[in-house]
Structure 1
Amino acid sequence: MKKSSIVKFLFQRLVKLMSLLMAVCLITFVLMECSPIDPVTAYVGADTKVGAEQRALIGEHWGLNKPPVERFTLWFTSILQGDWGTSMIYRRPVLEVIGQKFSASLALMGLAWALSGIIGFILGIIAGIREGKVADKLICAYCHLLISTPSFWLGMVFIMVFAVHLGWFPVAMSAPAGVLAEHVSLLDRISHIVLPAWTLSLLGIAGICLHTRGKVTDVMRSDFIVFAKARGENTKSIVLNHVVKNVSLPAITLQFLSFSELFGGAIFVEQVFSYPGLGQAVVQSGLRGDVPLLMGIVIISLIFVYIGNMTADLLYRVIDPRVREAHKGQWKTTIQSE
């Protein structure tokens, strides 16, 4: 793929991202305005000593006394200037809160993403080459069971079995309670992240596995596989030399496209395990009317998901020449029709 084509592709994607960010931010702001949650009430909590005058001062301090259009305009102007505002919940700059929460979520989602891709790909190949046999039926049944299982329920089952009854892993959080950050060892962090990461990875295994299985069955029925068998190649040679090469690209593409499902699942998993990541911050900011933090998280999460989709599309264009030729043909046809 030529450098000019990549630059053109990235520029088009950047324009789409900007327009998408504008639309999503506007919709999020409107939904928060229609929400019955009062940010001032959520801010002061159950403190009955706060009078009406103090509540008005709090609303004025956070700019809640201004009209919605003016508040959105001020927020958008500040974003363009690099100021993302201050979180009402944490009383800290939004970027600082997001940076801390996102680093924790990135470790969780990165580990779950890698596990789901590797395990799903291997199970998909095994099911595909054993089509119709016991292994295939068991793997397909397992995947369909995972698809229909809610992530929060699966997380609670893991807590009851592996944390409460067996005591192998901690119940919740990302580090031991009451221990300073500098005293938390790497082993402590690993033990706290195992259950959330395993819960989140199981959600992505089914999609990768079933998709890979379908591609493997198509490849195994193709003419060149029949020819390879006729030449005396064994199953191991056929899988390594033909099957893996033909099904790896679609599996990798689907894995990058799963960023949105990964982020959505992380919200529920982090709530169940009280994991202090970005997903938990989304729920807190929404329930407590923290608009600056929620809008910042929306922007970061949208960019995160968009990068995954763009990477999948770029991989297809770079690796598979048929996709490039199809887009070139489509572009030429559009020019000629105009």
Structure 2
Amino acid sequence: MGVPVRTVSRLVAIYLSVLLVIVIVAGATSNKIMWDHVHEAVLNIQSFNPYLYSELERNATSEGLTVEEYYYKLIAGSNSNTMNLEEFMFSGSDGEYYYRLLKESGGIRTDNLLLMGIDLLRKSFDYYRENPKYDFAHVIKVTLAVMGLAMVLTLLLGLFLGFRLANGRFLGTVEGLARFFNGLPSWWIGAVLIAVFAVELGVFPIAGLRSTPPKEGFGDFIDILWHLILPVSTLVFVYVWEFVVTVAHEVRNELGKPYVLTERAKGLPEGLIYRKHVLRNVSIVLSSFTVQKFVEMFTDYIVIDVLFGLGGLGTLLRASFVRTIVPAIGVVVRFDYRLFFVVTLSIATITFLFSLLLELTKGLLDPRVS
């Protein structure tokens, strides 16, 4: 087995780059929220303790700082190890956390976004470990099940139809279908399938992962598969045409090579030539193509997961933007940054591991890879 060292190194470098971006964005988010808390605290002091605010303003002016910067410097330089919400005017469940950030930063500004991002990610994972609001193990299983089924079916159909159409006259039609479905949003296809097969015909369930009440034993397994037919079919319907075209062109290219003509001249059966030579070489190209399409399919899966209410990573990503209807204001969207960064990091890690698996499979198929 050859190990594609360069490709694996490139994948690791890409993953580390994505991870670095996530950490820096998390650090910038943490920094922004912290300064929002400082600003809120200063406004509360200005409203409820004007005398203290005037003292802060006078001291800040003498040092050439804004009131917020001076207040931050005052808190960060304090020797107190206790948290007094009333004294420092921090509000919300994160007040103590951001007070600790102020204490540990020890300066007017927090410039080290990398350390703040790592701290925020660590605290986010710890938060959901201590407060199991979401079953992340179940969420990951649902995501892997849907993506795994969709990818396997797409590969099998792509290989089967690609071999059939390699020398057929309908390849041009399939190329047109590939371009057509490339231009359609996946949610639109999912909505059409729901309207036809779930609403109009009533053959499949509209959404969800299980029936109510849930079945038991093997019946529960069949029920889950029945609920997954429409979402998996949506993903397959979007991507299978490109796989068919790729396989067909590669098969046509392989069949014209000298080694195939030599094998045919020896009198070997067509089936043996296809299995022994053509399929293997096509699979090498297809594994590289699958890495790219997996990333695209994962993006569409997030939308499909929300559309069909499967409860995977797409549902959690949507849940990170909490919408609350306030009668006097309207719809207020609150950003659950902890959940957002946990889901984003999970998506990046799953994509990296799957891409790595495909590249190792490519090395297994092609001993020349090193």
Q: TM-score range by the shorter chain?
A: 0.7 to 0.9
Match of 2:22 in 1: 24
- Given the alignment, which residue of 345, 363, 366 partners 1:299? 345
Match of 1:84 in 2: 125
Residue 58 of structure 1: CA displacement?
2.0
- 2: CA distance between counterparts of 1:248 and 1:56? 59
Do the aligned partners of 1:85 and 1:93 also contact (CA within 8 Å) in 2?
no
- 1: CA distance between counterparts of 2:240 and 2:29? 33
Do the aligned partners of 2:189 and 2:234 also contact (CA within 8 Å) in 1?
yes
Match of 2:176 in 1: 141
Tell me: CA distance 1:154–1:83, structure 2 relative to 1, closer, same or farther (3 Å). closer
Residue 171 of structure 1: CA displacement?
0.5
Match of 1:109 in 2: 147
Map 1:130-279; keep pairs closer than 5 Å.
130=168, 133=169, 135-177=170-212, 179=213, 185-232=220-267, 235-279=270-314
Tell me: CA distance 1:305–1:62, structure 2 relative to 1, closer, same or farther (3 Å). farther
Secondary structure of the equivalent of 2:166? helix
Taking only aligned residues, the RMSD between alpha carbons, in angstroms, comes to: 3.8
Residue 79 of structure 1: CA displacement?
4.8
2:360 is aligned with 1:314: yes
- Given the alignment, which residue of 38, 58, 62 partners 2:92? 58
Do the aligned partners of 1:212 and 1:251 also contact (CA within 8 Å) in 2?
yes
Tell me: CA distance 1:161–1:319, structure 2 relative to 1, closer, same or farther (3 Å). same
| Structure 2 length-normalised TM | 0.67
- 1: CA distance between counterparts of 2:287 and 2:9? 23
Do the aligned partners of 1:113 and 1:204 also contact (CA within 8 Å) in 2?
no
Do the aligned partners of 2:313 and 2:343 also contact (CA within 8 Å) in 1?
yes
Deviations 1:294-316 (A, max 9, x none): 11111111111111222233333
Tell me: CA distance 1:86–1:235, structure 2 relative to 1, closer, same or farther (3 Å). same
Deviations 1:18-51 (A, max 9, x none): 454122332355479889xx99xxxxxxxxxxxx
Tell me: CA distance 1:10–1:185, structure 2 relative to 1, closer, same or farther (3 Å). same
Residue 267 of structure 1: CA displacement?
0.8
Do the aligned partners of 1:101 and 1:277 also contact (CA within 8 Å) in 2?
yes
Do the aligned partners of 1:129 and 1:220 also contact (CA within 8 Å) in 2?
no
Q: Structure 1 unaligned segments of length 5 or more: list them.
A: 40-52, 325-338
Match of 1:336 in 2: none
Tell me: CA distance 1:9–1:142, structure 2 relative to 1, closer, same or farther (3 Å). closer
- 1: CA distance between counterparts of 2:344 and 2:174? 36
Identity of aligned residues (%): 22
| Structure 1 length-normalised TM | 0.73
Secondary structure of the equivalent of 1:275? coil
- 1: CA distance between counterparts of 2:298 and 2:200? 29
Q: Structure 2 unaligned segments of length 5 or more: list them.
A: 38-85, 103-108, 323-333
- 2: CA distance between counterparts of 1:240 and 1:107? 29
- 1: CA distance between counterparts of 2:96 and 2:137? 22
What is the count of residue pairs matched by the alignment? 298
Greater displacement, 235-244 / 168-177 = 235-244
